[in-house]
Amino acid sequence: MKLSLSFFGLIFLLSISLSAQEQQTYTVKQGETLYGISKLLNVTVAELQQWNNLSDNAISIGDELIYYTSVSDQPAATEPPAKSLIEISAPQENTYYTVKSGDNLTVIARQHTMTVQELKDLNNLTSDLLSIGQQLSVRKLVDSVAPSASEFSEESQPQGSFAVYTVQSGETSTSILEKFKMTQRELQELNPQVNIAALDRNQKITVLLPPSRSYDNPYENKASLQDLGSVGVSSYGSDELGNTTTNGELYDPKELTAAHSNIALGTIIYIENPETKSGLYVRINDRITESGLKLSAQAFRILGLDSISNPTVSIYTES
């Protein structure tokens, strides 16, 4: 009697297990491996082999593989979750790469934005040895995320445009940062899967194109500024850091401030380097007894006055 109960109990459990699973089919695409598909479907290689009567890992493009999913894993018919404000697509298409003389797993992985372990897992490699002519399944580089940097001319490239750049022979991350006027942090955040300290020739990375257009000062054109003429200009010394200014503030070399003999304290004026035509706004917060204008170290440097003997600036105020 106990044997009968155990037998029927086993049948009952098996029926529950089978009813709790749903059969699905998956069509093999170019460059895919059984291991990669198992990870994608959240099953094991052994399960795929058993369900499809496979004696090894060999599969072909177009093969339909049977697999089972748990009903409990299926999403419930509830209100869809709110979409993220930022959605990043990560295409994972694969293609084939033929091993050439001098190649190794590290170089190939970097060129295809992969880790060495991902490359080995995708190809079921148990060692680091490669043979010339060997075909490896690699991640397909999708350039559609951004246009090629070569598509932009120096006359028209706008600030804020992202582009795919191919690393040239002899280039380093330092030279690329200088070329595109980017910081190391910006380049790394745009390429989270890339070791930017060890870039390889022909490796593709995403960059932010620098601005190349110069625009007239909109304030000078639209705000009816009055030209007060040119005056001599000097800079605060490093020994004046923290000194109290006329309006009670402490002098900060990083602020855009200035001192003048009679312009009202708190007035914001526009000053321009007559040689370079570059300008900025500064706030008057201090008094001087001599003529001319005395600028904070930051304002003096930004205008490029530190490389000029007897520098002058043009002063503009709102009329």
> Between these two residues, 263 and 300, which has the higher pLDDT value?
300
pLDDT exceeds 70 at position 161: no
CA distances (Å), origin 245, targets 39, 255, 292, 297? 67, 13, 17, 15
Dist CA 295 CA 275 (whole Å): 17
Q: Report all structural domains of the chain as residue ranges with CATH numbers, in order of start.
A: 18-71 (3.10.350.10), 94-139 (3.10.350.10), 143-208 (3.10.350.10), 218-318 (2.40.40.10)
How much is the average pLDDT of 279-289?
A: 90
Poorest-pLDDT segment among 30-34, 138-142, 199-203: 138-142
Dist CA 203 CA 282 (whole Å): 45
**DSSP tag of 244:** B
What is the reported pLDDT for 3?
Answer: 46
What is the reported pLDDT for 83?
Answer: 38
Query: What amino acid occupies position 119?
Result: L
* Structural tokens at position 12: 């009952």
pLDDT exceeds 60 at position 145: no
Query: What amino acid occupies position 78?
Result: T
Confidence of residue 294 (pLDDT cuts 50, 70, 90): very high
pTM of the model: 0.34
What pairs with residue 244 in β-bridges?
250
Residue whose C-alpha is closest to residue 28's, from 16, 19, 15, 41: 41
What pairs with residue 136 in β-bridges?
97
- pLDDT digits over 48-59, tens only? 888 888 888 788
Dist CA 121 CA 274 (whole Å): 63
